[in-house]
Structure formats: C-alpha cells, structure tokens
Amino acid sequence: MPGAQPARSMPAEGMKREAGYHAAEMVEDGMVIGLGTGSTTWFAMERLSVLIEEGLRIQGVPTSYQTELRARVLRIPLTTLDAYPELDMAIDGADQVDPAMRLIKGRGAALTREKCVAAAAAELVIVVDGSKCVPVLSGPVPVEVIPFALQPVILGIRAIGGHPELRNGIQKDGPVITDNGNFILDCSFPEISEPERLEGILSLMPGVLSCGLFCEFVEKTVVVVGRKEGCRTLNR
C-alpha cells in the first residue's frame, strides 16, 4: 500500500502572490503610492485593482512604462511624481534583502525611478518571497550608466574590484535600454561587506545615474515576506 503523499509546499509564485496581496491591504483610502516594477509588485497591483472596484480611492505613480501599462489594464488611477513629490507609500520588490533592511534592486532595469519613488515615499513596502532574504548582500549590483560613459564606468568598476557585465536583451538583439535611455551593468563583487560605502562609490562615478544598492531607506522600510506558513513582516 503506497504511503501518504507529503504535503506540497507553496510554490514561490504563490508566496509572492500572498505577500503582494498583503502589501495591498496596507494601502489606505486616499493614499498616493509608488508602484514598483516586477512580478511581486504585479500581485499587489492585482489586489489593489479589486480593492479599487470595492471603493478604495488611491492614485499610483508608476516606476516604469511596463508598470504604467499594467496599471492602466487594471484600471488603477495614475499620477506623476511632479504632481505628488511626496508619497504616502511605495510598494516594490527586491532582488535581495539583508537583516538590516538594505536592498539590492534593479533586475527589472527600473532602479533609478524606483529609487526616486522610494526617496519620495513616507514608507517603503518591499514584497519578496523567502528566497530573497539573505544574511549578507552578495548578488550582482545593477548600475544604470549613460551610453556616452560606458567604457570609463566599466574601467572604474573594475578598479574597485568589480566585474561589470553589460546586460543584454532577451527578446531583442543588443543591450537592454532603460526607460531613461541608458544601459545597465550587472556588477559582481568578491564581497559586499560595506554596502553603504559601495553605494556611495558607485553613485559618484561620472556617468552613473544610480546603482541598485538601496541603503538609505532602512528606517522607513517594511519587508513583507511570503512564506508557505503565511506572510511575515519585518522592519527596524
């Protein structure tokens, strides 16, 4: 007689959805919120769309054309950072989160606009599944660089021990072009022992628009972690 089947754990997609829905429930009536770019944010937007149909009144500031198009399909009212330079909240994802709430972001190539929105928001809600929570930041750090300065920036990153790779498109030939018209360098480092220092060095390189290290927002960051046991909320 065959043994009982083991309980199946919730797949990563399900954990992302649960975390995204939880983040959406944190939004209050009348808020103006930043809308990040990526799959976890999509789930939050999906739930927000339902809440809007039920009477929730909000406006969203999209961080990419992709987010803007999705928001329009979901009938989420949109506005701009010019109209609302101070936001109540931003909902976004992350590639990695460490115990101090420092982040690596930028897989969706929207890091500069995401950083602008994060800076403008009173609260930054980061939605991830458990695999994104790490003891030490170690992933490649995306860097947005203007095309004119590509080679000097590559040399500068190599000079501090980094290994930059130009990000290429998946469904197009050539490099990824950001919504700002720039290139993305994915930069690996032997270790990231001082994320704040590395963020400062990268950000000050001439030709760099921004980098994917988000270290300055830790005091206002809330991380919603989707797990098979349910959501867990982390903050400072």
Same domain, 21 and 89: yes
Q: Is residue 107 part of a domain?
A: yes
> Do the domain assignments include residue 159?
yes
Q: Residue 5: its pLDDT value, please?
A: 41
What is the CB-side half-sphere exposure of residue 211 using CA atoms within 13 A? Answer: 27
Q: Are residues 22 and 73 in the same domain?
A: yes
Catalytic annotation on 53? no
Residue 149's domain spans which residues? Answer: 141-211
pTM: 0.92
83 and 161 within one domain: no
The verdict on 24 and 117 lying in the same domain is yes
Note down pLDDT in tens along the chain; length 236 residues.
344 444 445 677 888 999 999 999 999 999 999 999 999 999 999 999 999 999 999 999 999 999 999 999 999 999 999 999 999 999 999 999 999 999 999 999 999 999 999 999 999 999 999 999 999 999 999 999 999 999 999 999 999 999 999 999 887 789 999 999 999 999 999 989 999 999 999 999 999 999 999 999 999 999 999 988 889 999 98
The answer to whether residue 6 is domain-embedded is no
Write down the catalytic residue from 18, 68, 114, 199.
Answer: 114
In this structure, is residue 1 part of a structural domain?
no
The total number of structural domains that make up the chain: 2
